């Protein structure tokens, strides 16, 4: 089979884990598979790069040097654990030192300028994967297997210039990736590509959104016409809910692209929300698998949902870090185009509306947006309010909410799912702030206070017996 295998931060958290990953890759390569590997940064590194780049604006060289020193020792430790050959160790340490010296210069630059743009933030974040990929490369080489490592940019992934959340230009990317990686696969050389990072048409580094190595793997899966994309992580597959919230959560053996996407949008962290876009068009199956339990074949994601699955609700997910925005205006009632004006203001300011609910009276619209965009949303709506005079009279917000979504393709046409959800939540005495059901009927989502989120997820999981299927 031709496979793209992605190893997340949780799978490459330490040198010991990287060694295990290299063993897995080598095993599958020996079984006559052609493999391309995508790797994330070591667990926690991307977060620390983001934090340091923010703090760099207001700190001094000493702070930055202390950070790069810790980062170097973390990666050097991993190299020594992952690779036995001293020659390969030395080679990887040299690459690592060079990368960290470059990172230090950039962070010092940010510190002197006192400004961090999204573009420079992407560049800083790219170092997580630029540091992990050579270690995985060294560890695979250590298993006497031929391999070569690439940044996403060098592998040929070209994106738009939406820094921090870029999307690939698939036709151009496919052309370049095939040209650069296919000859290696033909010769059984394993290409290792940094996840998450790519470049725009001008060659400037971009990132494809947090958790984006999943996306890199599906982009490569489509470009290389892989038989399957395997996403290796720290759980057996996609589960009925986050096993960290409900320990009895069960693995779902099969999901459709639509169901899995819906789960990812509503917070199932095991998958990047846009990752299934390219594969669902090209019909490339995706499997989520556990690095620590490779005997389990994981969750298979394909076009059609499982034919014999009868359950209406399959899974429940929680989306945090969101805010609810309420727009009121008696003048919106019956005024053509008044909703369009509200969404136009938000759209023009780069604010994506994730969920909408409008009262039949038309005097109120409630929306869910990312929490960190709330300030921008309110201020721009207020400006518009003054300009358009009268349509909007008031804008209010709640920034301590979470979205809960119950998901399943068979909810379509099944009576009583919504009432079962809402009465279970009501029985717990929890107040629902907003409700929305898309016309796809693939999910029923609603908003509660974030402090109630975990209890609500547990209640729904229990109510639909999701842990006992």
Which residues would be at the binding site for ligand ASP (CB under 6 A)?
Answer: 8-9, 40-41, 46, 128, 195-196, 210-213
User: Are the beta carbons of 113 and 34 closer than 8 angstroms?
Assistant: no
User: Are the beta carbons of 151 and 195 closer than 8 angstroms?
Assistant: no
Query: Which of residues 231 and 369 has its CB atom nearest to ligand ADP in the complex?
Result: 231
DSSP-derived pairing of the beta strands 443-449 and 434-437: antiparallel
Query: Which of residues 104 and 214 has its CB atom nearest to ligand ADP in the complex?
Result: 214
Figure out which of the listed residues 6, 8, 121, 239 binds Mg ion, where binding follows CB under 5 A.
Answer: 8
**Please, which residues bridge with residue 401 across strands?**
322, 449
Figure out which of the listed residues 241, 250, 302, 410 binds ligand ADP, where binding follows CB under 6 A.
Answer: 241
**DSSP-derived 3-state class of residue 12:** coil
- Does position 211 interact with Mg ion (CB under 5 A)? The reply is yes
- Does position 134 interact with Mg ion (CB under 5 A)? The reply is no
Label residue 362 exposed, middle or buried (CB < 10 Å: 0-12, 13-18, 19+): middle
Query: Which of residues 229 and 425 has its CB atom nearest to Mg ion in the complex?
Result: 229
Query: Which of residues 302 and 380 has its CB atom nearest to ligand ADP in the complex?
Result: 302
Query: Which of residues 384 and 404 has its CB atom nearest to ligand ADP in the complex?
Result: 404
Min separation Cβ 235 and Mg ion, Å: 11
Listed ranges 166-174, 230-238, 425-433, 443-451: which one lies at the site for ligand ADP (CB under 6 A): 230-238
Min separation Cβ 147 and ligand ADP, Å: 21
- Does position 157 interact with ligand ADP (CB under 6 A)? The reply is no
Instruction: Compute the half-sphere exposure of residue 38: CA atoms within 13 Å on the CB side of its CA.
Output: 30
Query: Binding marks (x or -) toward ligand ADP, 53..82, rule CB under 6 A?
Result: ------------------------------
Label residue 468 exposed, middle or buried (CB < 10 Å: 0-12, 13-18, 19+): exposed
Residue 11 binding partner per list Mg ion, ligand ADP, ligand ASP, none, with a CB distance cut-off of 5 to 8 Å that depends on partner kind: ligand ADP
Q: What is the dihedral of CA 447, 453, 458, 463, to 10 degrees?
A: -20
Residue 285 binding partner per list ligand ADP, ligand ASP, Mg ion, none, with a CB distance cut-off of 5 to 8 Å that depends on partner kind: none
Listed ranges 3-11, 54-62, 312-320, 328-336: which one lies at the site for Mg ion (CB under 5 A): 3-11
Backbone angles phi, psi at 184, to 5 degrees: -70, -45
Figure out which of the listed residues 235, 255, 275, 301 binds ligand ADP, where binding follows CB under 6 A.
Answer: 235
How far is residue 204 from each of residues 118, 120, 163, 183, 463, measured CA to CA in Å? 12, 10, 10, 26, 50
Backbone angles phi, psi at 292, to 5 degrees: -90, 0
Quote the tokens at residue 337: 């185009």
Query: Binding marks (x or -) toward ligand ADP, 312..351, rule CB under 6 A?
Result: ---x-x----------------------------------
Instruction: Compute the half-sphere exposure of residue 119: CA atoms within 13 Å on the CB side of its CA.
Output: 8
Give all strands (DSSP E) within 42-181, no chain letters. Answer: 147-150, 158-159
Figure out which of the listed residues 129, 242, 262, 452 binds ligand ADP, where binding follows CB under 6 A.
Answer: 242
Instruction: Tally the residues of the chain.
Output: 469
Give contact residues for Mg ion (rule: CB under 5 A).
8, 211
């Amino acid at each position: 089979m031709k496979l793209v295998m992605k190893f997340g931060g949780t799978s490459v958290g330490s040198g010991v884990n990287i060694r295990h990953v290299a063993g897995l890759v080598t095993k599958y390569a020996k079984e006559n598979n052609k493999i391309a590997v995508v790797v994330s940064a070591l667990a926690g590194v991307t977060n620390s790069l983001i934090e340091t780049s923010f703090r760099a604006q207001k700190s001094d060289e000493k702070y930055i040097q202390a950070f790069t020193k810790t980062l170097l020792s973390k990666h050097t430790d991993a190299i020594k654990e992952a690779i036995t050959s001293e020659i390969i160790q030395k080679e990887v340490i040299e690459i690592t030192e060079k990368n960290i010296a470059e990172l230090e210069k950039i962070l010092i630059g940010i510190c002197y300028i006192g400004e961090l743009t999204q573009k420079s933030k992407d560049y800083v974040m790219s170092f997580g994967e630029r540091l992990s990929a050579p270690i995985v490369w060294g560890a695979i080489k250590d298993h006497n297997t031929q391999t070569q490592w690439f940044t996403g940019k060098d592998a040929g992934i070209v994106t738009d210039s939406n820094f921090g959340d870029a999307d690939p230009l698939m036709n151009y990317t496919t052309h370049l990736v095939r040209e650069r990686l296919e000859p290696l696969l033909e010769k059984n050389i394993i290409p290792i590509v940094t996840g998450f990072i790519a470049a725009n048409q001008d060659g400037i580094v971009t990132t494809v959104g947090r958790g984006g190595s999943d996306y890199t793997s599906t982009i490569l899966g489509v470009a290389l016409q892989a038989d399957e994309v395997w996403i290796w992580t720290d759980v057996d597959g996609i589960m009925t809910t986050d096993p960290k919230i409900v320990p009895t959560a069960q693995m779902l053996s099969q999901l459709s692209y639509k169901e899995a996407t819906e789960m990812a949008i509503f917070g199932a962290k095991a998958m990047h929300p846009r990752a299934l876009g390219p594969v669902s068009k090209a019909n490339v199956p995706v499997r989520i698998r556990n690095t620590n339990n490779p005997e389990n074949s994981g969750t298979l994601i394909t076009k059609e949902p499982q034919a014999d699955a009868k359950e209406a609700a399959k899974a429940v997910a929680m989306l945090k870090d969101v805010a609810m925005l309420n727009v009121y205006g008696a003048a919106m009632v019956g005024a053509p185009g008044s909703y369009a004006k509200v969404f136009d203001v938000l759209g023009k300011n780069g604010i994506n509306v994730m969920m909408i609910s409008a009262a039949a009276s038309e005097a109120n619209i409630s929306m869910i947006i990312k929490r960190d965009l709330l300030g921008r949303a309110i201020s721009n709506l207020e400006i518009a309010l003054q300009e358009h005079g009268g349509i909007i009279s008031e804008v209010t917000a709640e920034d301590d909410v979470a979205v809960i979504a119950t998901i399943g393709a068979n909810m379509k046409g099944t009576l009583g799912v919504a009432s079962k959800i809402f009465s279970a939540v009501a029985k717990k005495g929890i107040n629902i702030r907003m409700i929305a059901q898309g016309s796809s009927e693939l999910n029923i989502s609603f908003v509660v206070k974030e402090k109630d989120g975990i209890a609500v997820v547990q209640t729904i999981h229990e109510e639909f017996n999701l842990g006992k299927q």
